[in-house]
Structure 1
């Protein structure tokens, strides 16, 4: 298909597609003339991936470029996971964290295979440090519950990856699942909070009119 048809089918303006081409997010089409190129289903699929990363995942162009490069690479899945995690996570300086917060996280993650500079480990420590600074240091019931939920989510993530039949689709699921999975889990958490709060704290009836 030509550029105009690719735009119509994908719902993405021609100018935006050309921008993705210039940025290297979208591979070039097959040249069919001096100023013409043809595009196939793989370009349409890649455009949908790009849109998901940018619009739903909230990634910058530079971050989206990194994760797309990971999809197109020959790296193993573990390395691809590492790239995806670090791309979508804020950089946290270990020196900015208290030893108490880091030790608390490590106690919760005891028995897990987690590297010292894992972005989740450091981010969790920063959250616990912030709670302590706000005068909420006792999270002994809350944090283990989150850790258990995180393990269940990680199992679901890897089940989805393993369900794919080829390396390309597995790698794509690693990257897309890492980015969009964050958005999905946050959305479902909001819905679950309303559900559980409605069960625990039944709304009081409206007072009668005087």
Structure 2
């Protein structure tokens, strides 16, 4: 297909496609003449991944280029790739820096749950920052509740990975993980509010459910 058709099928404007080509985010097409090239389904998949990383994941071009280099590297582990990509996505709702007590608590939870995370994993520091937020607002999260949250998100993680189970193309796996992480956070927030409303109604004496 020509670049115009690639643009039409992908929904990405031609100038943006040319920008991705210049920045090395999209492989060059097969030259059919001096000024024309032919593109294939692989270019459509890569465009979809790039848009997921930039538009949904919020990654800058340099970070996207690094992610794609790992995707294209021979013998890349899908597990390690997912870790690199998800670590690169900027977390939401984490203001300020955690203190040592918060970081120690986050690291302890990770150890107790048997989660395979390096102590310097950005997600561990992110958890510590959230715990610090609870503490600083005067509503520290009790240990029992923290553990119950951890148990709940383990089930969510299984659902997340199940959605990728039948996907074989590496580009599609990474794209699905990015979209699932960013939009999944929003999905969980919306579902949580709905469930809280239902649970509140169930616990209110004398109220109809």
Query: Which category describes the TM-score, using the shorter chain as reference length?
Result: 0.7 to 0.9
Deviation per CA, 1:20-64: give whole Å up to 9, x if none.
100111100001111111111111221122222222222222222
Give the gaps of 5 or more residues in structure 1. 91-95, 203-210
Alignment of structure 1 residues 10-25 onto 2, 5 Å: 10-25=10-25
Contact 1:66 1:87 in 2 (8 A): no
Determine the C-alpha separation between the residues in 2 that align with 1:57 and 1:98.
Answer: 27
Deviation at 1:174, TM superposition (A): 4.5
How many pairs does the alignment contain? 194
Range that drifts further, 15-24 or 73-82: 73-82
Greater displacement, 6-15 / 27-36 = 6-15
User: RMSD of the TM alignment (CA)?
Assistant: 2.3
CA contact (8 A) 1:157 1:177 kept: no
Looking at structure 2, the residues matched to 65 and 31 of structure 1 have their Cα atoms a distance apart, in angstroms, of 23
Task: Measure, in 2, the Cα distance between the counterparts of 1:73 and 1:160.
Answer: 24
Distance 2:131 2:178 in 1: 23
* Post-superposition CA distance 1:160-210 (Å, at most 9, x none): 444334xxx2x33552233212223222223213322331345xxxxxxxx
Determine helix, strand or coil for the equivalent of 1:65: helix
Matches within 5 A, 1:34-73: 34-73=34-73
* TM-score in terms of structure 1 length: 0.80
1:76 aligns with 2:67: no
Q: In 2, distance between residues paired with 1:45 and 1:77?
A: 17
Distance in structure 1 (CA, Å) of the matches to 2:199 and 2:157: 28
How far off its partner does 1:3 sit?
1.2
Q: Give the 4+ runs in structure 1 shifted more than 6 A.
A: none
